[in-house]
Each structure stands twice: as C-alpha cells, then as structure tokens.
Amino acid sequence: MWRRSASFILDKHQNNKPMSLTPSIDSPPPLSASVADENPSPNHISAYYQTRAAHHEIVTSDWLEQAQAAVRRYPDQDSPVSEKPFSVIEEFNKWRQQPALAEAVAAIRALAAVIRASDGNTMMELEIELKKASDTLKAWDTTSISLTAGCDLFMRYVTRTSALEFEDFNSAKSRVLGRAEKFGEISNKARTIIAMLSQDFIFDGCTILVHGFSRVVFEVLKTAAQNKKLFRVLCTEGRPDKTGLLLAKELAKLDVPVKLLIDSAVAYCMDEVDMVFVGADGVVESGGVINMMGTYQIAIVAHSMNKPVYVAAESYKFARLYPLDQKDLEPALRPIDFGVAVPLKVEVERSARDYTPPQFLTLLFTDLGILTPSVVSDELIQLYS
Amino acid sequence: MDARRGPLAVPKVRRVGFFTSIEPSQDSPRPNRSLSGPAEAITTSSSPLSDSPSGQFISPVQIPPLRHRSDNLAAASRAAAPVPVPVPGPSAFRRQLASDRALHVGSYNPVDSLLGTSPPSSNGEVSEDSGSLFGFQRSDSAKLSASFPNGGFDMTMRVRAPQESEAKVVIASTSDGRKKNVEPSGTSEPVAATKPRKEKEQKSLKEKTSKAERRAIQEAQRAAKAAAKGEGSKRAGESSRAKPSKTAKQTQPKKDVPQVTSSLSEKRTVSVEKERRMDVPQAQMQYDDKSRVDKAKRRSVVEQTESKNKVELFLHLPQYERGNQLPNLSSNIFTLDTIHHAVYKVGLQHLAGDLSGDNARCIAMLHAFQEAINDYTTPPMKDLTMDLTGKINGYVSFLIECRPLSMSMGNAIRFLKNQIRKLPVDLSEPEAKASLCSEIGRFIDEKIILADKVIVQHAVTKIRDGEVLLTYGFSCVVEMILLYAHEIGRKFRVVVVDSRPNLEGQKLLRRLVARGLDCTYTHINAVSYIMGEVTRVFLGASSIFSNGTLYSKVGTACVAMVANAFSVPVIVCCEAYKFHERVLLDSICSNELGDPDAIANVPLRTNTKHAKTMDNNKNLQFLNLMYDSTPAEYISMIVTDYGMIPPTSIPVIVREYRREDLLL
C-alpha cells in the first residue's frame, strides 16, 4: 500500500487519463431532493451544518438576506453595488445548482468575482476590498471552518507575491485574478485528486467503514467502484440528519455492497472493517480533524483495534485553529429530533461536530498529497509565513 | 583463515615446554608488552588476545623481569648462542613456534631466561626482540585494518604458516633452526614495519642505560616521529591528519609515560584539536576529557574549585563549587583588562545567581555585548570582523566559566557572530559598531520582547472561564500570560507548583497574589494529587529541540508526564529564538549541575553534626541537576511567536525562520 508516493500516483493517473481531472463540477451527481426534507428552524443554529444537511435544498431566506447584507457593506457604494450583489448571487446560484460544490469553493469563486468587479485603482485598494469581502463572508457563518479557512487561504494565495508591488496596477490585477482563478480551479479539482490518490489504499475485498456523508469520501468510493474495485462499505446511520442513509443510497446506485449500521454499532462491527474513511469539516493545525459528531469515537475504536483511519480532506479546509480538547471550539449547534418529546428538564447535547486528535488518525488524503497528521502544521506554517 | 586460526588458539602447543600448570598461557604477551615494551608498541585495543577472556589472567610464573632488550643487529651471534632452556626438546619446539608466532615469544622467553638463569644478552632476547618487532608490526597492521579486530592476528599467522614445517627440523639442531627462524620472520615482515623496527634497534642499542635516559631517548624519537608525521600531514593534507592525533591518543592514557612526554603529546593534541575545531562546529566541552579541562583551566579567568564527590553519570558536565570565587573576582574587577567591565558584571551576576531566567540572562548578556561593542576600537593593523569575533569569543568563554550558557544564549551569540561576519567590508568602524548595536537591539526587541507579547496573545485564547491552570517554577512568559488573562477579565485559578532548592515559584506566587489572582501553592511532591483538578498546564522552556523535546527546569518532565497521565493538555510557551536544531534524547548529554550544597543543606535545619557527616561521606554524592528533557509526546501544544504549533513542527520553524537570521 505504501509503495508509491502521492506525486507518482498523480502523474501516472494524469498520463493515463488526462481528461479525468475535470469532471464533476459541471455535472454534479444527481442527488435526490427528497432525503433531508425537513427545514430546521434557523435560530442560533449552525448554518454550515444546516446547509450541509440539505445542501441542495431550498436555502433559507435569512441566508439570502445575510448574503445581500454582506454585499451592501462594501465600501465603495456607487458602481460595485450593482455589480457585486450580482456576483455573490451568482456564486450562491452556482452553489445551489451544484450540490457537489463545496462552500469554500463557492466562497473562493465569489472572492474572485470581487476582484473582477473591483474598480479600485491601486493594489492597496484592491486588497482592502478583498479583505472586507472575505471578512463579511467569514462573519456570515463563523461556525464553518472550511469557509473561514478557504477565505484565509485564498487571501494568502492571491496576495502572497512579492512581484506585485513593482508592477503597474492593471497587470498586477490581472495577475491576482489569474491566481484567484487558479486557486479556484485547484480547489475544484481537489476532490478528484484525492479520489485518485486514495485508490491505492482500497484493495480488493476490503471493508470500509464510513461515517456520515462526505462528498470527498463519496468521490473516493465512486472512483474505486468505477475502477472495478471489489469492496464493501459499512455506512453509519449518521444521526441526527441521517446523512449515512443518503450515502448508502448513493452507493447502492453504484452497485457497491453496502451495510447500514446504527451509530452505536461501530465497535461491534469494527473487527470486520479494514479501514475507516472519514471526511472533514476542517483540518486543524495539530493535524487533527473536526468532523461530524461521532468521528472521534469511531477513531478511538479503530485506533484501539489497530485499524487505519484515513481522512479525506481538501487543502482549503486547513485552518489555523488549535483546539486542545472538544470544548475548545466555537460551538456549532443543530436541532436533534429524538422522535419523541424530550422532557422539559432534560438537557440535550446539540453540538454538531467533534474534534479528533491527530494520534488517532493514520493518514490524511489531501490534494497536496497523502500526509501524516504532523505535516498539516508544516504546510500551514509555510503557507502563512 | 578461521581453519588455520584454530590450531593457533589451542593452548596445547604452548603448554608443552614450560608449564606444568594447566593454566593456559595465552595471556603471556600481556605482561611483557605492558612492562618491557615501549608505549608505542602497546595497542591494547588492537590485540585480540588481550581481549580474550583468558587474557585477563596473569600467571605468577610469568611476571617478567626487568630486563633490557638486546639489539637486533646482534642477531647472527644470537643465533649461534646456546639455548639455555631447562626443558630441552619440546621447549625448543615451542620456542620455534612461539618465535614464529612472534607475539608469544617475547613473553615466554624472559621467563625462560629467568628460570634458566641465562644472561640478559643471550638468546632470550632474540625472540623477545622479534616479539617486539612483531608487536610493532601488529600494532601497525592493526592500525591499517582497524575495522576488523583480527587484522593484526592474521599478519602473524601468515608469517607463521610457511615455517611450521621447518619447526620439526629445528628440534634436532636448535641453533640452526633458530637462525633459520629469525631470518624468515624478518623477511616476511611487512614493509610498513621496517621503520619502527629501525627505531627499535636504535633504542635497544642504548637499552642498557638508565631508565631516565631511555625515556629521554624515547621521548626524542617520538617527537621526531611526530614532527615527521606532522610535516607529512601538512604535505598530504587531510588524509594524514588523523594519524598524529592517533599517536597522541595512544600515548595519553599511559600512566607511566614520563611527564615530559605527556606535556609534549598534549601540545600535539592541542594543535590537532585546534585544527579539528576549525572545521567542526563548536561542540560542548566534555569535562571528563582531562587534557581539555586542564587547558581550559590554564586560560580561565575564574578560579574554580571542583566539587568533591562527583556523580559518575555526569562527569562530562562542568562541576564546580559556586560562590567561593566570587569575592576574589569582584576584587580584581579593576585590574582585569581583557574582559569588558559590562561583560564582567554580567558574568559575576551569573556566578552569584542574581540573574535567573533564560530571557533575563540572555538580555543582560546582549546588553553587555552592546556596551562592549560601543567601547570597542579596532587595534591598528587588525580587521574589525576578525578581532571583534575574537573578543566576543573571549567574553563568551568568560561567561561560560561563570556559568554554562543556556541554549538561548548560545543562539543569541550565534546570531551576533553572524551579524559581525555579515558586516560589509567597506563599512567604517563607527558605522559597523552602530549597525551591530542596532542589530542586537532589534534582536532583543523582536525575538524576545515582542515575541513574548505575541505568545501572550496566542496563549490567552486557550484560557477560558472557570479553568484551573497549573504552572511549574517561574517563567516570565507564563507570568505575563496569567496576568494578562486576569487583566482581560478571565476567571480562573492558578496552581503554582514549586520545587526545592530554588523555590522560584514563590516569586511567581508573590506577584500573582499581589495582582489579585486566586492561587494555590504546592510542591512538586503533590503534583499527582493536584493534577486531578487542573484543566491546563502552562510551562516555560529553556529550549526546545528539533525532535520536539522540551529542555526546561528540572521537574518539568515530571509535571508534563503527570499531566499527560491525567489527560490534561500541556501547553509550552517558548520564544522561537530558543529553538535549537539539535536533537536531544535524554537529560544526561547536555545538562547543568547546580551547587550540590543547595540540596544538601536544608534551611531551618541547622544541625551541624548532621551536615558534617554528610560532607565527609565518600559514599554520598549530591546530584543537583538544573534541567531535564520532556519527550515530545507529553506536549500538546507549543505557543511560540509564530503561532500555536504541535511539537512536531519545531524543525519547520527552525528551517523556515532561522535561515534568515543565521545563514544569510
């Protein structure tokens, strides 16, 4: 399994089928609109998890409002006002039409649109404008790690070039724009790259445990199925929003043998599992991941039974956060339906995510390559230096 | 080879003529070589026989007499001389073999001659001499083939192999055989051995002179040889550099080498070492290395008395008694001209222990250097870069004498030296000085003061309301963090863990309580009890190494491990200038020994009788370690001026950021 390096695999795949790098953005997988059908009440609920649970659903009206409010907060009021709402709406539309497009990529697209629409005359103006746009985007949902991280990374990537100061504004702007597009492109392709990288880890006859619905993990499994790999998938139910059910349904469509578990049956089934594949909402600086509630316990169980835990995460999810324990995060809450009425005096833990420390993870599959958890920090340091 | 070696090792042959005892005589070369052989001939490590288990045994019969070596030139007469052996036939046979085997011969014959009351110049010498010859050859071949232990051995075997057939003939006429025997052994001797052999001959010519004279001759020869070799090395360059050092090393451990020799060889060692030090980065001085310590002592400004009962495992560390040299030093502050007074002051402060805390020590040192550079004028005909570096080196070694430098000070000194080296050549002296001073100031501001502020900003985000924070000892960064967190209104409690003998935690406790923080004070003995209620551990650092090992005040590892056992996150606060690119695996290799009296004497318990017995007890050693190392797996997070990072990322910081300071 470890015989080939990430870059080698990527090269090989690129040589073999060069067209496969740009598939799914324009042709998103047709997800049925009826799975997550209830629209949870939006009051102090993590918008990120809400939209993730129903990423192709009708987007709540308050989000639309927020987006437009964010647009209106731009400094230059005259012409961009008419321009930018359009760009953000466009980004929003893109997102709605393509459930496969991650929030962060959508944000990156929107920021690129900001650059394009900007009518500043100096680099400084452009940078300030960009900063404000990204700040409003971040402020829109503070619980979304990938949104924050994506914006930050975009800012670093776009503005981090020393040559900018010596050029005239127009060429500099076009260069920035080029970088922005490139970054958007890279982020778009990330999922495909990860899917390719992970193929060598999926061997015939293996059993894979997945948790929740992660688009990257789904991409990985789909690619494996397309490559005629024979494997079995155990899907957790993914309470409370039953995202596991969704994944099981999608996999069944691809004729992959799937078994559905309730979340509490993970330890029971672990001995027949060969590897655990999870996605990530965010990868933090320690190398650990923040993911949907339940990932931590799965990782602990897998670790204690010496099963590898692989995390598939795009590099735009790398965040400059360093949680020391579970509570050391901005709380992201979501409604939980227990089926019956919860007695009044009973408290409900509604956190939507948990933090898995790096010592429980085996490898991270990212578009930068296959990394050990400790490399995440190295990458971040180099990026933000 | 091994097949041929078998019969060699069998003691049967050797036992035949001489020994009625069953003791194997394999050990015989040892006494001979160590007593009558010259120092050069002794290569203890290269003789496989002496390493054999039986090699330790010395038969009482074999105690060799003090005799003189006869000359090789008289070989012909020797061959003709009668063999005064008590046991006729077999002994001759044995001697035959033995002289072939060369090594064993020398040792047996003296005994033989003693027993047989043969005169010293008689044939006993033949074999003895050839033995010494072979001793030489052996040592040489061993030198050549140092990698395989049997190198020397093989050589003798090769010599022996063709002669074994002759041996039978020898039994009939010993004198003939002897002649034959000597010659082939001479011819089969490798070329490498000829030179030493000549020396041997010269030496043996004058062997009958007094001991002192002999030694003088040896001395002279050795010096000549060394000179020749030195020249050779100069000519040949690097390839031969190892040789003189090797001879020096060989001569050094000998206890019976006369004083003159040792001093000479020491000089040689010094020169070689100087040479070596040029290209090798400055290593830490090992204080169990006698010669270097002596040399350092001669140069030292501070008179230090070594502590009495040293702990075996830490002999490589400087161990001196503190304090008693202070009055002496402070009295001649005005007479000393080599050390700038500012540096002198800092050194005295280090010595007296007035300065504690790595940052404080480092800043004091840098300020002193700043002052010294300000007062510096380049002597005529000298280059500022070179001369100033030399000056700084002198200051640094003075500071080291006062107290071993911390890792951070080492980094700061490296920074300064690099700044000096980087100075443009065309810069005038005042400009250069000004730029150096401003660079030092920038270092202090950026790398220490500003870094601390950034660390505080980062670390405070990890303090939430209602937490119980534990800290160990005194760290100024941790103090700043706690005070700042209190300032911005976080509600938390602090546990200050302290340890004897320094009780630095009391200083922290005093300051925290004065600012109104809620504190608990305990000693490290209770850390496992108190850890149950703690939610975060904040630790300071003296240095962090590339493998993430934390090097900090002794006791830190204990606290971190207990915290880890209680799964309490351990946060280490450390400025990035303290990171070190070395790797540390244990607390033994680099450490600092404190005053042993500090742990021996308990305040408030002034039982003089008790102290006296403690003082004079040979079996009692006090170990007052100053630092220990905490493995990376016990550290959850390192807060540094570049953000919060896991301990695995230290090398990245060192690589990415140190370059600009040091290598450019």
* Contact yes or no for A381 and B652 at CB 8 A: yes
| Structure confidence by residue, pLDDT tens digits, A103-134 | 777 777 777 777 777 777 777 777 787 788 77
Average pLDDT over residues B282-294: 66
Find where tokens 């490898």 sit: A363
- Best CATH choice for the domain A20-78+85-188 from the list 1.10.3470, 1.20.1260, 1.20.120, 1.10.8: 1.20.120
Is A189's Cβ below 8 Å from some Cβ in B?
Answer: no
Out of B162-176, B214-228, B420-434, least confident range: B162-176
Mean pLDDT over each residue of chain A, to the nearest integer? 75
Among A270-284, B2-16, B46-60, B219-233, the range of highest mean pLDDT: A270-284
Chain A CA closest to residue B657: A385
For domain A191-384, give the CATH superfamily: Translation initiation factor eif-2b; domain 2 (3.40.50.10470)
Q: Which residues contact A167 (CB under 8 A, 6 or more apart)?
A: A175
* Contact yes or no for B462 and A324 at CB 8 A: yes
Give the residue, B23 or B267, on which the prediction is more confident.
B267
pLDDT at B130: 40
- pLDDT higher than 50, residue A154: yes
* Contact yes or no for A381 and B645 at CB 8 A: yes
Quick one: pLDDT band at residue B521, thresholds 50, 70, 90? Answer: very high
Distances (CA, A) of B437 to B240, B412, B423: 44, 13, 12
Chain A CA closest to residue B458: A322
Partner residues linked to B497 by β-bridges? B472, B522
Total residue length of chain A: 385
Domain ranges of chain A: 20-78+85-188, 191-384
**Cβ-nearest to A377 among B462, B569, B648:** B648
| Structure confidence by residue, pLDDT tens digits, B333-380 | 555 667 777 888 888 888 777 777 888 889 999 999 888 888 888 888
Q: Which residues contact B72 (CB under 8 A, 6 or more apart)?
A: B129, B133, B197, B200, B201, B204
Out of A99-103, A109-113, B161-165, B551-555, least confident range: B161-165
pLDDT at B180: 45
H helix or E strand, kind and range, residue B493: strand B492-498
Quick one: pLDDT band at residue B481, thresholds 50, 70, 90? Answer: very high
pLDDT at B659: 65
Quick one: pLDDT band at residue A243, thresholds 50, 70, 90? Answer: confident
Out of A270-274, B110-114, B513-517, least confident range: B110-114
pLDDT at B613: 60
Interface A:B, Cβ pairs < 8 A: 49
Three-state DSSP at B492 gives strand
Three-state DSSP at A277 gives strand
Three-state DSSP at B640 gives strand
Partner residues linked to B543 by β-bridges? B551
Tell me how close the Cα of A161 comes to any Cα of chain B, in angstroms: 17
Out of A179-183, A237-241, A299-303, least confident range: A179-183
Give the residue, A109 or B413, on which the prediction is more confident.
B413
Give the residue, B283 or B171, on which the prediction is more confident.
B283
Between CA B39 and CA B262 the distance in angstroms is 12
**Cβ-nearest to B637 among A320, A322, A385:** A322
* Contact yes or no for A384 and B643 at CB 8 A: yes
pLDDT at A101: 67
**Cβ-nearest to A381 among B464, B637, B653:** B653
Residues from chain A contacting residue B571 (CB–CB below 8 Å): 324
Give the residue, A368 or B101, on which the prediction is more confident.
A368
Give the residue, B136 or A208, on which the prediction is more confident.
A208
Chain A CA closest to residue B569: A324
Out of A169-178, B135-144, B325-334, B547-556, least confident range: B135-144
* Contact yes or no for B643 and A320 at CB 8 A: yes
Average pLDDT over residues B204-219: 61
* Contact yes or no for B649 and A377 at CB 8 A: yes
Q: Is B162 exposed, middle or buried (0-12, 13-18, 19+ CB in 10 A)?
A: exposed
Chain A CA closest to residue B644: A322
Tell me how close the Cα of A319 comes to any Cα of chain B, in angstroms: 12
Give the residue, A8 or B441, on which the prediction is more confident.
B441
Out of A169-178, A192-201, A340-349, B459-468, least confident range: A169-178
* Contact yes or no for A286 and B536 at CB 8 A: no
* Contact yes or no for B643 and A285 at CB 8 A: yes
Out of B27-36, B308-317, B379-388, B534-543, least confident range: B27-36
Distances (CA, A) of B477 to A209, A324, B464, B480, B543: 45, 20, 18, 5, 14
Quick one: pLDDT band at residue A182, thresholds 50, 70, 90? Answer: confident
Give the residue, B64 or B510, on which the prediction is more confident.
B510
Residues from chain A contacting residue B636 (CB–CB below 8 Å): 286, 324
Give the residue, A260 or B119, on which the prediction is more confident.
A260
Between CA B127 and CA B178 the distance in angstroms is 9
pLDDT at B309: 64
- Asked if the domains A20-78+85-188 and A191-384 are classified in one and the same CATH topology, the answer is no
pLDDT at B411: 87
The ipTM of this complex is 0.73
Quick one: pLDDT band at residue B508, thresholds 50, 70, 90? Answer: very high
Residues from chain B contacting residue A374 (CB–CB below 8 Å): 646, 648-649
Give the residue, A125 or A64, on which the prediction is more confident.
A125
Average pLDDT over residues B94-112: 43
Three-state DSSP at A196 gives helix
* Contact yes or no for B462 and A328 at CB 8 A: yes
**Please, are residues B324 and B335 in contact by the beta-carbon 8 Å criterion?**
no
Quick one: pLDDT band at residue B300, thresholds 50, 70, 90? Answer: low
For residue A153, give the nearest of A49, A283, A293 by alpha carbon. Answer: A283
Chain A CA closest to residue B639: A322
Chain B CA closest to residue A329: B462
- pLDDT higher than 60, residue A293: yes
Which of B462, B639, B644, B656 should be substituted to probe chain A, the one whose Cβ sees the most A Cβ atoms within 10 Å?
B644
Share of chain A above pLDDT 90, in %: 28
Average pLDDT over residues B416-442: 86
**Reduced 3-state DSSP string for B327-359:** HHHHHCCCCCCCCCHHHHHHHHHHHHCCCCCHH
Average pLDDT over residues B315-328: 65
Average pLDDT over residues A252-281: 92
**Cβ-nearest to B645 among A328, A358, A377:** A377
Share of chain B above pLDDT 90, in %: 20
**Please, are residues B64 and B107 in contact by the beta-carbon 8 Å criterion?**
yes
pLDDT at A5: 39
pLDDT at B4: 46
Between CA B627 and CA B584 the distance in angstroms is 12
Give the residue, B539 or B207, on which the prediction is more confident.
B539
Is A330's Cβ below 8 Å from some Cβ in B?
Answer: no
pLDDT at B528: 92
Residues from chain B contacting residue A287 (CB–CB below 8 Å): 646, 648
- pLDDT higher than 50, residue B395: yes
Q: Which two tokens stand for residue B413?
A: 């000194």
Residues from chain A contacting residue B649 (CB–CB below 8 Å): 374, 377-378, 381
Among A70-74, A192-196, B203-207, the range of highest mean pLDDT: A192-196
Q: Given CA atoms B249, B255, B261, B266 in this order, what sign does their dihedral have?
A: positive
Residues from chain B contacting residue A383 (CB–CB below 8 Å): none
Average pLDDT over residues A69-92: 44
For residue A174, give the nearest of A156, A158, A186 by alpha carbon. Answer: A158
- pLDDT higher than 60, residue A375: yes
Share of chain B above pLDDT 70, in %: 48
**Cβ-nearest to B636 among A324, A378, A385:** A324
DSSP label of B601: P
- pLDDT higher than 70, residue B405: yes
Packed helices B89-101 and B164-172: angle between N→C axes, nearest 10 degrees: 150
* Contact yes or no for B649 and A374 at CB 8 A: yes
* Contact yes or no for A382 and B656 at CB 8 A: yes
pLDDT at A328: 85
Rounded to 5 degrees, what angle do the CA atoms B450, B451, B455 make? 120
Rounded to 5 degrees, what angle do the CA atoms A351, A356, A359 make? 165
- pLDDT higher than 50, residue B259: no
Mean pLDDT over each residue of chain B, to the nearest integer? 67
pLDDT at A233: 94
pLDDT at B68: 47
Side-chain half-sphere exposure of A237, counting CA atoms within 13 A: 8
Structure-derived torsion over alpha carbons of residues B106, B107, B109, B112, reported in degrees to the nearest 10: 180
Q: Which residues contact A137 (CB under 8 A, 6 or more apart)?
A: A70, A107, A110, A111, A147, A151
* Contact yes or no for B646 and A287 at CB 8 A: yes
Amino acid at B228: A
Between CA B506 and CA B508 the distance in angstroms is 5
- pLDDT higher than 90, residue B235: no
Quick one: pLDDT band at residue A258, thresholds 50, 70, 90? Answer: very high
Between CA B436 and CA B515 the distance in angstroms is 39
Tell me how close the Cα of B460 comes to any Cα of chain A, in angstroms: 13
Residues from chain A contacting residue B569 (CB–CB below 8 Å): 324-325
Between CA B297 and CA A131 the distance in angstroms is 62
Show which residues on chain B lie within 8 Å of chain A, measured between beta carbons. 462, 464, 536, 569, 571, 636-637, 642-646, 648-649, 652-653, 656-657
Residues from chain B contacting residue A327 (CB–CB below 8 Å): 464
Between CA A220 and CA A231 the distance in angstroms is 12
Give the residue, A277 or B180, on which the prediction is more confident.
A277
Amino acid at A134: S
Out of A65-69, B286-290, B630-634, least confident range: A65-69
Among A152-166, B283-297, B379-393, B546-560, the range of highest mean pLDDT: B546-560
pLDDT at B57: 44
Chain A (243-302) residues lying within 8 Å, Cβ to Cβ, of chain B: 285-287
The separation between CA B156 and the C-alpha centre of its own chain, rounded to angstroms, equals: 35
Three-state DSSP at A326 gives coil
Q: Which two tokens stand for residue B433?
A: 């000085």
Between CA B114 and CA B66 the distance in angstroms is 10
pLDDT at B231: 53
